Amino acid sequence: MIENNRNVRLKRIVMEVFGGCNYKCRMCPQVVPGRDASFKQKMPLDIFEKILDEIVPAYGTPAINLEGSGEPTLVSDLADYVAAVKSRNLACLMFCNGFNLTGDYMRSIIDAGIDVVRISMIGYDRRKYLEWMGVDHFDQVLSNIAEIRDYLQGSGSSCQLMSYHLITDNRRIAEEVREYRRNIIEPAGLLAYIWKMHNWSGNYDNPNPRAMQEKRSCGRPFAPELTVRAGGEPGRYGAVTPCCQTLGPPNELKSILGHLDTQSFEEIYFGGKYAELREAHRAKEFNRIEYCKDCDFLDGDPEVLVWSNDRHANVNHMIGTDDDFVLTDYNE
């Protein structure tokens, strides 16, 4: 086992298992400009397990989030990935669109022991959902949520079912929150989170831009978390990026810090590219990092999380992690 000589204890790994998507969401660079093909692939299970075994427990017992901007439910054997996480006594989360979570497939994932399923629903009714997510699946996903909820209750699973929403018009925040609650959140009995949109490190022209006050570090280069993509450069798997916000051209390829298919965690996490990123954030010289300089997560806007009924909800607290993991604690 590798000896951890640097006192690093990771608390979260965003581990993408599939880089493609079956939706056409307006606010996502998967659609415009379109993600590079080398990222839109499945991470092989053996590489997934290799990455886990290299990091755990030498560098902590992090929560494993099976997403990263691709749709995890496009993996037919997703339950095997969940089981691999749970066999190592780690928390397992999944952020998804919920369309495929039905029937035996859904039950296999729940039975494998997943701890959190969060479903994204951008648009508070059928018309708005189609407008923003590009598919007419509003009623089907609501039906799937009811099916999941019933199975959780009947099976005795402790999995938490959550939903995620975005404000589509910052001029109508109160109205949109009310409609999300009335149409989706309260009827389904969900823990839910409503956020303002972001600009994917500058890859997306956000129609609801943030104020962009004085820039400060987002804290991610120093935080006990890791983002791992399913793909990466052509022919590679397990690209490490600073966060999931660099999704899509032109910044995703530029943000690769290494590949865990052949490189070690130590080579990447303590390597030159990561060191350069951290130093630029310490010095607040964000223009030195091309994939950071236009990112609106550098903005100190305290209202990006608009509403939640989760008592642990905090714009800087990562779902599935310890309550003491607050991202602002890592701003340097």
Question: pLDDT per residue over 72-94, tens digit each?
Answer: 999 999 999 999 999 999 999 99
> What pLDDT is attached to residue 312?
80
Map tokens 């991610």 to a residue. Answer: 220
CA-wise closest residue to 11 among 61, 72, 71, 78: 61
The predicted model gives 27-37 an average pLDDT of 91
Please report the pLDDT score of residue 213 as a whole number: 72
Query: What is residue 313's predicted lDDT score, i.e. its pLDDT?
Result: 74
pLDDT for position 67: 83
Residue 328, pLDDT score: 56
The pLDDT score that the predictor gives to residue 311 is 83
332 vs 8, more confident: 8
What's the pLDDT score for residue 189? 95
**pLDDT tens digits, one per residue of 247-279:** 999 999 999 999 999 999 999 999 999 999 999
Q: CA 89, 310, 153, 72: dihedral to nearest 10 degrees? A: -60
- Give the strand pairing for 116-120 and 92-96: parallel
The pLDDT of residue 1 is above 50: no
Of 16-30, 43-57, 306-320, the poorest mean pLDDT is in: 306-320
- Residue with the two structure tokens 């409503």: 194
> Under a CB-based contact definition with an 8 Å cutoff, are residues 163 and 190 in contact?
yes
